[in-house]
Amino acid sequence: MIVPSVVLGQRAGAVAPSDRILFGGIGLGSRGTHVLSKILPLKDAKFIAICDVRDERRETIKSMADKNYGDRDCRMYSDQYELLGRSDIDAVLIATGDRWHTPLSIIAAQHGKDVYCEKPCSMSIEESWALADAFRRYNRLYQAGCQRRSGANFILCKDLLNSGALGKLKALYANVGPSVNWPPLPSRDWLAEEPLPPKQVLDWDRWLGPAPWRPYHSSYVRGGWRNIYDFHGGGILEWGSHTVDLCHWAAGLDETQPVEYEPVGTNVGPYHVNCRYENGVKLVMRDNGWDGALDTGSCSFKIEGEDGWVETGDKTKIEASDNIKPLLRPTEEARMALENHVKEFVRCIRSRQEPSASAAAAANSHVTCHAAFIAYQLGKTLNWDTAKHEFTNSDVANNMRSRALREPWRI
Amino acid sequence: MQQPAQQPKPAAAKPKPERPTPPPEFQEKDIATMGAAGLAAILKDPAASEFRKAKACMRAGELGAKEAVPALAALLDDEHLSVYARYGLEPIADASASEALRASLTKLKGDRLIGAVNSIGKRRDAQATAALVKMMNGSDAALAQAAIAALGSIGNAASAKELQGALRRTTGMTRMIVADSCLVCAERMLEAGQRDQALALYAVLTAPDIPQAARLAAMSGIIREERSPSRPR
């Protein structure tokens, strides 16, 4: 039999179809589409299936994938089990609303899939641990969409700490969602009921999924689910899932959480949560405005050692104490963070090595954020036992570690 | 709560769409700070709105208010409020919450019953084992799957035995959930120091006819346990 060389991957730069990592996607809106745009150019991967409860989104993603590959191979699903049941799919990209992240990731692991999931990755402390447990149990790979771990400016800051240039670590500063955009205490209210759209346009029951029932309002579906307690963890989780994650990663704290959480502020204006790790290192989650006090950009973080400090964010520039400035170097590839992060995931699928933003790492940084969020809701300093995974000075806080999932969903 | 000692620069806001304002009847207001007695009164009040009952359920759970258990249990059959009732019941440490959930198993149907089973699994209520086994062996596949997951979460010797039996006679998605629940059960047994039983359960799952993801997971479980520093030497 004669087959084209490309089938065998023998043409220069070509990858045999059988050697491609096959992706499916679930719930890809604007962010998911952005991540998908980094998957589509990869020669050793192919995106072949989309699942969404909204028909126009399914069509949009299929069109995007088919146009990229010049075929009509991307299949559309409204039921995630049908997509996950396909044995040819290796990995799934999950970019639904936050309420779906943990349940869908766990279901994907049960189906033997590796997962790239947008953050925040969980809605509660309980979900965070369940996520890590499931990926360890199934020995599947999980990459949280914490792409800054793959950003050159963030990596340089980490390297400066690890090289000893900053001296002994004193404190970490994680900018959290500015209260003007992401108040620390999301609303627990409901919006006035609007008529439900036809089910084929939007299946409200499926859209709500594991979140508690509430009357339909079109605002939720248009992105207004953010800053609503039933769907969102407020400013602390919205940005903390990025920046606390960076702090943990940079300081080698991926396997632990702070033992103390002191909330400072109200729901209006700047707010802080001062945290302390068992080793005495401080973590300050702070509302420092959108671009940070040093104009380093959104989602910035700062590392402070005894001998110097360094700070960076999404503008990619790095600010540092005078003694550290000579050590800074251009980080031209800083804007490649997402591309690098996606590529790392695909590499790991091949090598079966743990990606940098694993489920276990995500669990620890998310538990830290959830604990801070609970402290902020209660307005009191909370102490946390890192071995027992419980608060030691508040039964109410312990009761808030989990949220019931709407039937029939479970984790 | 303290005020920030050092005020950062005023936040530069990104443009954001206008958010609709919740109507007064859908605002949490006084419930956010209400005590157990007030919450129980709302839950029992036939004239209280769906919204106020939903919020009262959530707060009752956060407070761990055992006084609210009967009123929460009464809402388990409500199409919209069932999840809120479980939001309230799940964290309440008092045994009355478990008793209420167990009692609901003979009264609820459909998704509401599945919800109660899920909450029982979350609370790891071993006293519900017999009822869960009956559901596991029933004809309602979705309910059977929920019961199977709950048995895995309970994770004791009795549930392990029942799950192994189910592994032999189930197919398709239900079998996949049985296998997953066996994995969870094995982990629970390891946590409880029942190493031999856990390894035996893992071994059952390595059979060639077990769904691949679970089979590989069981093999990983055995390897992980054999490498564990806590392994008996």
Return residues 3-42 of B near A (CB < 8 Å).
3-5, 7-14, 16-17, 19-20, 22-23, 26-28, 32
Rounded Cα–Cα distance for residues A72 and A2 (Å) = 25
**pTM given for the model:** 0.94
Query: How high is the mean pLDDT in each 10-residue block of chain B (233 residues)?
Result: 46 62 96 96 97 98 97 98 98 98 98 98 98 97 98 97 96 96 98 96 96 96 89 73
> The domain at A5-147 falls in which architecture?
3-Layer(aba) Sandwich (3.40)
Residue pair A102/A123 in contact (Cβ under 8 Å)? The answer is: yes
b/e per residue A346-371 (b: at least 16 CB within 10 A): bebbeeeeebbbbbbbbbbbbbbbbb
Q: What are phi and psi of A336, to 5 degrees?
A: -95, 10
Going from the C-alpha of A186 to that of each of A89, A138, A183, A272, the distances in angstroms are: 37, 34, 6, 16
The ipTM, to two decimals, is 0.93
Beta carbons of B14 and A398 less than 8 Å apart: no
Q: How many CA atoms lie within 13 A of B89 on its CB side?
A: 36
Query: How high is the mean pLDDT in each 10-residue block of chain A (411 residues)?
Result: 49 70 97 98 98 92 98 96 97 97 98 97 98 97 97 96 98 96 95 93 92 97 95 96 98 97 91 97 96 95 98 95 94 84 98 97 98 97 98 98 97 95
User: For B216, which of A139, A179, A407 is closest by C-beta distance?
Assistant: A139
User: For A138, which of B20, B32, B217 is closest by C-beta distance?
Assistant: B217
How close does chain A come to B3, measured CA to CA in Å? 5
Q: Residue A139, exposed/middle/buried by CB under 10 A (0-12, 13-18, 19+)?
A: middle
How close does chain B come to A67, measured CA to CA in Å? 32
Beta carbons of B122 and A402 less than 8 Å apart: yes
| CB-based contact, B217 to chain A, within 8 Å | yes
Contacts of B90 in chain A (CB under 8 A): 402, 404
Helix axes B172-191, B195-204, angle to 10 degrees: 160
Residues of chain A with CATH 3.30.360.10: 151-335+360-411
b/e per residue A281-299 (b: at least 16 CB within 10 A): bbbbbbbbbbbbbbebbbb
Q: Name which CATH class applies to A151-335+360-411.
A: alpha beta
DSSP letters, B52-88, are HHHHHHHHHHHHT-GGGHHHHHHTTT-TTTHHHHHHH
pLDDT given for residue A6 in this prediction: 43
Residues facing residue A310 across a β-bridge:
A303, A320
Beta carbons of A137 and B146 less than 8 Å apart: no
Other Cβ atoms less than 10 A from the Cβ of A191: the count is: 21
Per-residue DSSP letter, A209? T
CATH of B30-109, one of 1.10.287, 2.60.40, 1.25.10, 1.10.3470: 1.25.10
Kindly list the domain boundaries of chain B, sorted by start residue: 30-109, 124-233
pLDDT given for residue A13 in this prediction: 56
Return residues 203-232 of A near B (CB < 8 Å).
212-214, 217, 219, 222-224, 227
**Residue in A194, A407, A411 to test binding to B, most B beta-carbons within 10 Å:** A407
Q: What is the pLDDT of residues B149-202, one digit of tens each?
A: 999 999 999 999 999 999 999 999 999 999 999 999 999 999 999 999 999 999
Going from the C-alpha of B36 to that of each of A266, B33, B58, the distances in angstroms are: 25, 10, 11
Residue pair A304/A173 in contact (Cβ under 8 Å)? The answer is: yes
Residues of chain A with CATH 3.40.50.720: 5-147
Contacts of A286 in chain B (CB under 8 A): 8
Contacts of A401 in chain B (CB under 8 A): 91
**Residue in B16, B21, B25, B26 to test binding to A, most A beta-carbons within 10 Å:** B26
